[in-house]
Chains A and B, each alone.
Chain A
Amino acid sequence: MRGLSRSVSERVAGVREALSKFLYGMTGYEFARHALEMRHEMEAVFMVVTMGDLIGVPVLPPVYSLRLLPYLVPEVATWKRNMARRKDFWEKEEYDLHAV
């Protein structure tokens, strides 16, 4: 009996969690995504400023680039993919228009 009531309460908790996530998906998730996108845009600019030589834009003396390198290495792959998707360097991707 205790096992049954526990399984019922677990199911109720599961449904509640699913509903709250569904509601979040319909409401706050878009704001969270947009905040991430804004941050991503700023990081892209930062990467150009610091690692510009990788794509032929020597904006920062190499000595400073090298000092920052260990902190930026994890981001390089993502940044390269993002740059490769752009049709031109200055294109600002409109994330809200993914479908187009």
Chain B
Amino acid sequence: MNTLLAVIIGAVTVYLAYTLYARRIDRHVIQSDPKRATPATLYMDGVDFMPTNRNILFGYHFKSIAAAGPIIGAIVAANLWGWLPAIIWLILGVSFLGWASDYSGIVISVRNEGNSLSAIAHRLVSPRSRSILFVFIFFYLLLVAGAFVGIMATVLESQPKVQLGVIVLTVMGLLLGQMLYRWRTGLVGATLLTVGVTFIAILGGGWTEEIFKSFSAGLNGLTGGAPLVTYFDPTLANFQGADAKIMPNLLFWALAICAFCYAGSVLPIWRMAQPVVYVGFWITAVSMVLGLLGAAAASFMKPEVAQFVIPAFKGFNPHLGPAGIMPLWPMLFVTIACGAISGWHALFGAVGTARQIENEADMLPVGGGSMFAEFLLGLLALLAVSVGAKGAPVGAFATGLGGFISVWGIPIQYATSLAFAAFIVIVLVVTQLLFRVQRVTLSEWLGDVFPPVRNQHLSSLICVALAILLMMTGTWIYLWQLFGGANQLMAALSLLLVTVWLASVGKSWLYAGLPAIFMYITTLASLLVTAYNIYSNVYQTNLTAGRVIPVIGSGLMVLVALLLVAAAIVIGIDGWRAFRRYRRQPAAARRPAAARA
């Protein structure tokens, strides 16, 4: 297998799935009608509801859904089961489930006056389903925040070359916000300055390497070289398990990341979150485009970086030592989330994008098209880790992507630095947005019961503290799988909602209903497997060794997993009842109430 063949398979998948399946569903089941008024045209307010050109909306939606998910999922899955199951799931997932979830999220909102999924669930399924969705969103954001903080702190601690780039990215983001919104500088000039300086800092990370190394040594010297926390991590040492140590340097970077995210959460969006995301977007986009083109061209121009080096298949339940049971089903289907199917996409599409759809004919190219583009991003990550050197997953990814970028004549050490930085940047900018959304969700969910959480500082601090606690367990791969389970369950629930809606309007529901059933069962099973793994391999081991913080963190993870399972069962029962009710008598067939005199 080489990268060119994989890129061709990816392109053919997109073409066939889009033209032969997605388009047929759009025409014959949903029957999108360009003449039907959309919420954007009906309720246009120039801000929230705004008819927008389909190409602009495609770019906007794709950028909003494309984040670290497709990259990290592919990296972890390739290391656990080999590249073949990962690529098969990516292809089948996006072809039969992923596009359907993203597209349907937009469709259901457009056909329901631009309402969010939670509002539609409140009306179609049951009033309590809205509250349950809030619980879902909060906890899955917590899980992913814990996983991301852990990953980033580990990479920043071990890669002093990347640290300068991250600091400069923050400064340039703040400068960009000031230039655009206060000094009214043109976008092109401001972009050239801020993105250019950030690129220079990333590529020149070696200049300050020694300074950061001595800084790290100084920090670690504060405790005389002793760790702050020691815990057993079953996923270390190629899944053989080992004692891991949280040194002061690692904690410093974790706290620095949290401070960055806290600022992104409480400052006005224009001041920090938005411009940092924008600068980060260019770093990531340039790396990914160069990488994807490099992956396609490497077979001709630099064959040594185009050959897969990891095994194609490692088994259905590879023996992973103390890492616990890791069966291909259901764990692969939650480990690779966003490149195949993701609940977040449907959630965002239902309100963020649906309220800007100008014409029903745009729903498929925008919703489905963006998901197919995201699949290509996941495929690139899989290729990068498959050709990268063996070892730590993120390192293998950066080595592989650096190899692809080097096809274009960029020296390998700079290309690898750029790949590392691209990874950190995409995770970092997503994490600060996560904390922002999580803070709002917390105040929506508990604000009435416990009013102090309406305070943005308190709610942000709670979110940050919980993420740090989860990070202290150290097992970010388990955290990632728990997040994947919650995220895929969100996708299952959104598809369930679409199924109920299709039944309520008397349309064929199979294209959404079958994926909903598959994802629902798979994700519930995966949450239970992960809870078991965490309990038996992290909680009990650390409890026996008398390590308090990892015990609290892993106990919290098990509780979250069980809470998500319980919430999903309740919402599933409500959804099933609503489905049967509408199957007996579709809402469209019901006689309207008589007008009052």
Contact = CB atoms under 8 A, between A and B. Distances in A.
A12 interface: no
Contacts of B436: 96-97
Contacts of B88: none
A38 B47 CA distance: 9
A25 B52 CA distance: 10
Interface string B31-52: 0000000000001011110101
Interface string A24-54: 1111111101111110100000000000000
A92 B7 CA distance: 46
Chain B CB within 10 Å — which of A29, A81, A94, A100 has the most? A100
B383 interface: no
B348 interface: yes
A49 B359 CA distance: 36
B149 interface: no
Interface string A61-99: 000000000000000001001100000000001111111
A11 interface: no
Contact of A30 (B60, B191, B348, B355): B60
Contacts of B352: 98-99
Contact of A98 (B53, B285, B351): B351
Nearest to A93: B48
Nearest to B62: A26
B116 A99 contact: yes
Contacts of A22: 55-56, 58-59
A25 B63 contact: yes
Contacts of B274: 30-31, 34, 96
In which size bucket is the chain B interface?
35 or more
B59 A99 contact: no
B59 A98 contact: no
A24 B46 contact: no
Nearest to B134: A100
A60 interface: no
Interface in B39-93: 43, 45-48, 50, 52-53, 55-63
A70 to B, nearest CB: 20
A23 interface: yes
A94 B440 contact: yes
B511 interface: no
Given A30-B278, A31-B187, A25 B60 contact: yes
A18 interface: yes
A33 B57 CA distance: 12
Chain A CB within 10 Å — which of B60, B281, B437 has the most? B60
B59 A21 contact: yes
B137 interface: yes
A31 B275 CA distance: 9
A92 to B, nearest CB: 11
Nearest to B268: A38
Contacts of B45: 40, 78, 81-82
A98 B278 contact: no
A38 B59 contact: no
A32 to B, nearest CB: 9
Contact of B347 (A30, A81, A99): A99
A43 B281 CA distance: 31
Given A30-B278, A99-B116, A25 B350 contact: no
A7 B437 CA distance: 47
21 contacts: A19-B55, A25-B56, A25-B60, A26-B60, A26-B62, A26-B63, A27-B281, A29-B52, A30-B60, A31-B180, A31-B278, A82-B45, A95-B47, A96-B269, A96-B273, A96-B436, A97-B436, A98-B355, A99-B116, A99-B350, A99-B351
Given A24-B56, A34-B274, 7 more contacts: A22-B58, A25-B61, A29-B59, A33-B47, A40-B46, A78-B46, A98-B352
The 9 closest A-B pairs by CB, nearest first: A25-B59, A21-B55, A25-B56, A26-B59, A22-B59, A25-B60, A98-B352, A98-B351, A78-B45
